[in-house]
Amino acid sequence: MKITKNTQGQVDFSKDNGLVPAIVQDSTTRVVLMQGYMNAEALERTLDSGHVTFYSRSKQRLWTKGETSGNTLSLVRIDADCDRDSLLVRADPAGPVCHTGADTCWDEANRGDFLDHLERTIQERRDNPSEGSYTTSLLQRGINKVAQKVGEEAVELVIEAKDDDKDLFLNEAADLMYHYLVLLAAKGYTLEEVREVLRGRHK
């Protein structure tokens, strides 16, 4: 159940002294970032402010993630589990989440799927050009050149597909995938939008 202002009253806070566990997941990478606890007031403030807020059991008060470090969690959505006594919070982190400086409280890099990580890197090169970067130089040459490179890499992959050299075939496949992601970035589209089209076809 997605939690909104109209449905927050349906969360069951009765089982653990008015608290429910709140598991925070990066809305983009799907990596689990941390766990905290919310009471009804923390949930209300989260929904009102758009910044994930917890109840601190040690300090006995509400605290908004990033209130001292600046590494806030911007709310995307909250869902309750089947028993309505646990929350899954999807959020966008502004920097490392753990107080140790790690991306997550399990000391895991917040990268998620490698293709998504690669796509974000390409988008970063597009939005913040980096001198000496092949991706930046390719994007700066314009959409026609990027599209041409995709065509060239596709032809090279087809040629390698006719032989039995695994390494050459996989390298050409990787080249095509990379340039395809560059083309998506150049057009202003995302891999997730392509996934949505595929999901729509998979019925």
* Same domain, yes or no: 16 and 89: yes
Residue 28, pLDDT score: 85
Does 101 map to a domain?
no
- According to the model, what pLDDT value does residue 184 have? 98
User: What's residue 6's pLDDT?
Assistant: 86
Q: Over the chain, what is the mean pLDDT? A: 95
| pLDDT exceeds 80 at position 203 | no
User: pTM for this one?
Assistant: 0.71
Residues 52 and 89 sit within 8 Å (Cβ to Cβ): yes
- 16 and 50 assigned to the same domain: yes
Residue 60, both tokens: 């006995």
In tens, the pLDDT along 175-190 reads 999 999 999 999 999 9
Same structural domain, 85 and 127: no
Q: Is residue 102 part of a domain?
A: no
Same domain, 73 and 25: yes
Domain extent for 70: 8-93
User: Which pLDDT score is estimated for 96?
Assistant: 95
Q: State how many domains the chain has.
A: 2
pLDDT, tens digit, 9 for 90 and up, residues 134-157: 999 999 999 999 999 999 999 999
Residue at 107 is within a domain: no
